[in-house]
Structures are given as structure tokens and as C-alpha cells.
Structure 1
Amino acid sequence: MPRTIAGLLVLAAAPFLLAAVLPPGQAGFWTANILGRAVVFGIIALSLTFLATYGGFVSLAQMTMAGVAGYAVAILVDGAVPRIAGGFSYAAAVPIGLLAATLAGLVVGAIAVRTRDIYLLMITLAVAMGIFRFVETNLAWFNGYEGIRNVVGPTLLGRSFRDPWVFYYVALGVAALLYLGILYLVRSPFGLVLQGIRDNPRRVATLGYSVGLHRIAAFGVAGFVAGCGGVLATIYNIGISPGSIGLGATVNVLIMSVIGGLGHPIGAFLGSLIFTVFDTFAASIYDRERFNTLIGLVFLAIVLVSPDGVIGIAGRLRGVLGLRPRPAGLPRPGGQPQEERS
């Protein structure tokens, strides 16, 4: 916990540090387009990391759940273009969007509850692509491939949500609450049962727990987390379109999670930051048109050096420097516990 608090303080101070060393325009650019975007998509990646680390299953429907929340807000909120339902304030539309994302997570969990490994991966991908195609071709509710624009966000204490500092600190506050909430949840009775199901579902079932209901509930939690990121991403992009939940966006979330490391929730934000930096400066580093090649090479380099991602590299460095080792029993990617099973 002290390390978590220290990390949050560093992130909270980051805009001030950038403003002190960079020109005003560049400081605002880094705050909004690097740090802010990394936090937002880190939240969506956090939902996937939660399922993979503590549930033992990798879902490719997390960007879809984020899109459900984003589209719900865009459809309902007043001022969006085109006006579809309209008339709702952000204070009303955002909770409805989060509820929709949570329900979407529960539905996906119910569909995939009896599958694992590659079968769960393919079922969640099929659900994601089915929803993507439906949204892309529906004009009445989703405005087809053009999507919905002008979702600018609310005004907070007289300041526009478009202000880079306002957006960044709101996103950081939401990310901190979700991150701490996940850490608390996995130590609660529900989280401990979920990890038991990950390791040995039959043994947990013999103790009287419902394996299926716990898995569905985990997808519901992940849907809520992804929905928070989806709402922020929609406001950040000033709208939402089918491309936001397409195959490319879906795979990007998986890449972020794997790069950061599936061994701990913090890996989602580390991976998102690395991905965002390369995405932003791809034109300077290599070639904007070949970004997928660049991030693919980065992905391969990190995974080959450390299958546990950046977290694994950090753990090895701690071992080399003689610092405290990684706690025993911390799950590896794919939900495998570190100690030997009996």
C-alpha cells in the first residue's frame, strides 16, 4: 500500500513537473495526450487484467463493454450530434452507461461461463465482433459507421472537462479508486473464492460455492471497470464510432495488458503508458503507417525477455539488486499460481 500511495502521488505531481520543465503547450500535450490517454485506456486494460489474473480467463470483449457504456452516454446525453435520445445530463447518463456496461459484462459472462482457455477467447471475440458489426450497420440508434459526436463532457466547478488538467485528474481519480477497489475485492471472500476457482474449480464446487455464478459476477465487475474507461474514452475522443470497438481496438487492449504484465493490476497501466508513448511518437520513431509493426516488435521484445511483461522485468531487477523478492503465490499470466500445486 505505501508503494501504491507513492505511485499515486508521483502521477498527481506529474503535470506540475511537466509544466516546470516543458513549454506550456508541450506540457498540456503530454498531460492530455500521453498521461491522460494512458490512464483512460489503462482502466479498460485493468478490467482484462482482473479477469486474467484472478479469474484465470482472458476476455476479448472488454473494449466492447467499454463501448456499451460510451454509446449509452452518447445516445442519452444532451448536445450529442446527431441527437438520438438526448435530454439527459451527464450526471444521469453516466450512471446509466455504467449500468449498461455491467449488464453487458454479466451477459458475456453467462455466454462464456462454461468455457475456458482458447474457447473462451474465441467466444468473447465472436461476441465483440458481432456487436461491432451490429453497431456499424445500425443507423437509427448508433448512426452507423460515422458514430456519435460532440460528447464534450460536463462542466466541473466552472471548468470545462476539455481542460487537460481537469480531465487528467478526474481520470486519475477514477483509476485510483478502481485500482484500490480491485485490490480490496481480490482479498475479500468473493475474490478468494474466485482465485480458488481459477486454481481448482472442482475443489471449490465441493465446498458449496457456485463456480458459474462467481465467474459471471467477475465478468460483471470487469464490465463496470471497462465501462468507466469507456465513458472517459468517449469524452476524451469527443464522441464514439464503431472503430472504437473494432478488432484493432480490441487487440490493442490485450497488447497493453500483456506488455505491462498480467501478474498484477498495475501492469495494465504500465502497458497502457508504453503503448500510448509508442502510438504518439510512432512517426518520429519509425513510421506512422507502420505503427502495428513497431508495437508488434516492442511486444515481441518484452515478451521474449520476460513472459510476465514489464512487471516480470521489474521483479528480476529487484532480485539482481538484492531487494525484496516478489511475494510467493502471486499469480502468473493466465492464472497459474507461483508456488507448486499439491
Structure 2
Amino acid sequence: MRERVLLALGAFALVALLPFLLAAILPANQAQFWTANILGRALVFGIVALSLTFLATYGGFISLAQMMIAGVAGYALAVFVEGAVPRVVGGLGYLAAIPLGLLASTLMGLLVGAIAVRTRDIYLLMITLALAMGVFRFVETNIAWFNGYEGIRNVVGPNVFGRDFRDPWVFFYVALGTAALLLVGVLYLVRSPFGLVLQGIRDNPRRVAALGYNVALHRIAAFGVAGFIAGCGGVLGTIYNIGISPGTIGLGATVNVLIMSVIGGLGHPLGAFLGSLVFTVFDTFAANLYDRDRFNTLIGTVFLVIVLLSPDGLTGLASRLRRLATGRRE
């Protein structure tokens, strides 16, 4: 536990120095672009992917509803915050609207868990995908609350110590701090009694039930935790995009989160952020590397190569290289 936390904190400490390094070697506009549009966006995607990794690694079930749950937080923020266009409810400041968005995503996570609690494997994938697409179609066609296809705009975020939230450095460090807290929280939670029971359910649910634990309740609670994590990413993503639209939670976005998690590796929560960084880089520079319209071909090829070389993703590949290097030294 201590080694994993130190590894995670060390990795985030190195990432925290990157804006200074970028500012030293790149022109100001390029440094800001990399800080916000590459590193910041990767952290936001990574937080949502972390919610999926938490469920898959420690619960044994893969949910395709995590991007939708993140979108619920984003829509709740946009609906209730003051200054959003068009105004639906409004009137709340960000300090009140952001917790409301996180509460909405947590409740949605619990609801998804309650619906999918007795399903496993492919059936869990299908029911969570069906829920995600159902919510997507609902917000896409609802004009009164969600402004339909156009979505809700002008969600700019609060001021942070007198600076604009969307300032590249402010946004990056807020996203980095949020990601670090969530990652450490996950590593702590999985070693708590709740986390140990959840891993026991993953390995042998019948034996855990025979010991007197409520298997269904633990699974639902795990979805609630994952909903809160995804909601943090949804709130940051909505502010990054200055609003939210149905495309944010569409089928493409849903599949992308799964791709990030698998590329990074489901064996360690850090894999969510590694996968999101790889995905963001290719997503941003696809037009230069190959062809913007052929992005799916490009990312699909990268996904195939990584999975073939290391079925457990980049974190699994790093672990094998470390063991190999250690063995040679010995």
C-alpha cells in the first residue's frame, strides 16, 4: 500500500513539474497549449477512466456507463449554475453547483449499480451501454432542460485565488490536484474493509456471501464511488469545454474511455492516466500524424499493437520490464 501511494505521488510530482519544463523549452503559446489541451485534458479523461479502472480492477466488472455518469455531473452543473446559456434554472454559484453535480453523478452511479447489480460479463456491458445510450438520447431530444443537440454553454468555472479557472496553469493544477486526491483515495479505499470485501466478491462472490456480507449492496456502493470519481471528471470536462452537449456522452466518448483504460492497463489505477495521455496525444495530433478523418484507424492500430505486446496494457509492460531489469541485476 505504501509503495503504491509513493509511486503514485512520485508520478504526479513529476507531472507537476512539466509546465515549468514546457515553459522553459517552448514558446509561450505552445507551452500553454500543451499544459491545458494535452496534459490538462488527459487528466480529465484519466479521472473518468479511473472510475472504470476502479470497477474493473477491484470489483471485477466493466461498466460502459462511466462517461454518461460524468455527463450527468456536467449537465447538473450547467443546469443550476449562474451564467450558463441558455438559463434553465441557474442562480447558484459554482461553490454550490459543483457539489450538486457530484451528488447527481454519485446518485446516478448508485442507480446504474442497482439496475446492473445481478449481471456480469457481457450482460453487464450491454446493460450499462443501454443505460448510457438511453440517457444520451434523452438529453439529445430534451429541449426544455438540456437544450437538445446544442447543449448548454458558457460554463466558465469559478475564479481561483483571483485567477480565471480556465487559465492553462490554474486548470492544469486543479485537475492534477483532483486526480492525485482521487488516486490516493482509491488506493486507500481498496485496502479498507470495504475494498477487501469488494475484491473478495470479485474473486468468489458465493464465499463472501457465505461469510455474511451483502454482495449486492457492496456492488451498488462500488458503483456509487465510481460515480463520484466520474463526476469529478465530468465537472472539470464541462468547464474545460465551456459547456456540455450530448456528443460529450455519446457512443464515441463511451468507447474512448474503455480504450484509454485498456491501453493504460487495468492492473493499476495509474494506467487510467497513462492510457488517457496516449489517447489525447493521438487525438490531438492525428491530422499531422496520419489523417484527421482516419483517427479511429490510427488509435485502433495503436490499441491493437499495445494489446498484442502487453495484454495488461502499459502498466503491465512496465512491470514486466522492471522485473526483467531486476532479474538481470541479480
TM-score of the alignment, normalized to the shorter chain, above 0.5: yes
Matches within 5 A, 1:207-218: 207-218=211-222
Deviation at 1:318, TM superposition (A): 1.1
Partners in 2 of 1:2 and 1:85 — Cα distance?
44
Equivalent position amino acid for 1:295 in 2 = I
How many correspondences in the alignment? 325
Question: Is 2:8–2:183's contact at 8 Å kept on the other side of the alignment?
Answer: no
**Residue segments in structure 1 that go unaligned for 5+ positions in a row:** 325-342
Residue 24 (structure 1) aligns with: 28
Hey, which of these two has a bigger chunk of helix by percent?
Answer: 2
1:315 aligns with 2:319: yes
Question: Is 2:8–2:270's contact at 8 Å kept on the other side of the alignment?
Answer: no
Equivalent position amino acid for 1:57 in 2 = F
Equivalent position amino acid for 1:112 in 2 = A
Deviation at 1:316, TM superposition (A): 1.8
Residue 131 (structure 1) aligns with: 135
From 115, 121, 133, the equivalent of 2:119 is 115
1:53 aligns with 2:57: yes
Residue 174 (structure 2) aligns with: 170
Partners in 1 of 2:200 and 2:316 — Cα distance?
23
Deviations 1:10-42 (CA, angstroms, capped at 9, x unpaired) = 111110010011111100000000000000110
From 225, 230, 235, the equivalent of 2:234 is 230
From 159, 162, 169, the equivalent of 2:163 is 159
From 267, 290, 297, the equivalent of 1:293 is 297
Deviation at 1:100, TM superposition (A): 0.4
* DSSP 3-state at the match of 1:321: helix
Residue 149 (structure 2) aligns with: 145
Question: Is 2:56–2:62's contact at 8 Å kept on the other side of the alignment?
Answer: yes
Equivalent position amino acid for 1:222 in 2 = A
From 293, 297, 302, the equivalent of 2:306 is 302
Matches within 5 A, 1:244-259: 244-259=248-263
1:278–1:88: structure 2 CA closer, same or farther, 3 Å change rule?
same
From 277, 280, 292, the equivalent of 1:276 is 280
From 192, 201, 219, the equivalent of 1:197 is 201
- How well do the aligned residues superpose, as a CA RMSD in angstroms? 1.1
From 63, 66, 90, the equivalent of 1:62 is 66
Equivalent position amino acid for 2:84 in 1 = A
Residue 103 (structure 1) aligns with: 107
**Residue segments in structure 2 that go unaligned for 5+ positions in a row:** none
Residue 328 (structure 1) aligns with: none
* DSSP 3-state at the match of 2:12: helix
Partners in 2 of 1:169 and 1:91 — Cα distance?
18
Deviation at 1:3, TM superposition (A): 2.1
Deviations 1:84-113 (CA, angstroms, capped at 9, x unpaired) = 001000000000000000000000000000
Question: Is 2:9–2:180's contact at 8 Å kept on the other side of the alignment?
Answer: no
* DSSP 3-state at the match of 2:86: coil
Partners in 1 of 2:318 and 2:197 — Cα distance?
29
Deviation at 1:162, TM superposition (A): 1.4
Compute the TM-score of the two structures, normalised by the length of structure 2.
0.97
Partners in 2 of 1:173 and 1:122 — Cα distance?
34
Deviation at 1:315, TM superposition (A): 1.4
Residue 10 (structure 2) aligns with: 6
Deviation at 1:323, TM superposition (A): 6.0
Partners in 2 of 1:323 and 1:151 — Cα distance?
52
* DSSP 3-state at the match of 1:205: helix
Partners in 2 of 1:252 and 1:11 — Cα distance?
23
Residue 339 (structure 1) aligns with: none
Partners in 2 of 1:9 and 1:70 — Cα distance?
28
Equivalent position amino acid for 1:84 in 2 = V
Deviation at 1:131, TM superposition (A): 0.4
Question: Is 2:306–2:313's contact at 8 Å kept on the other side of the alignment?
Answer: yes
Deviations 1:41-87 (CA, angstroms, capped at 9, x unpaired) = 10000000000000000000000100000000000001100000010
Equivalent position amino acid for 1:86 in 2 = G
Partners in 2 of 1:226 and 1:249 — Cα distance?
13
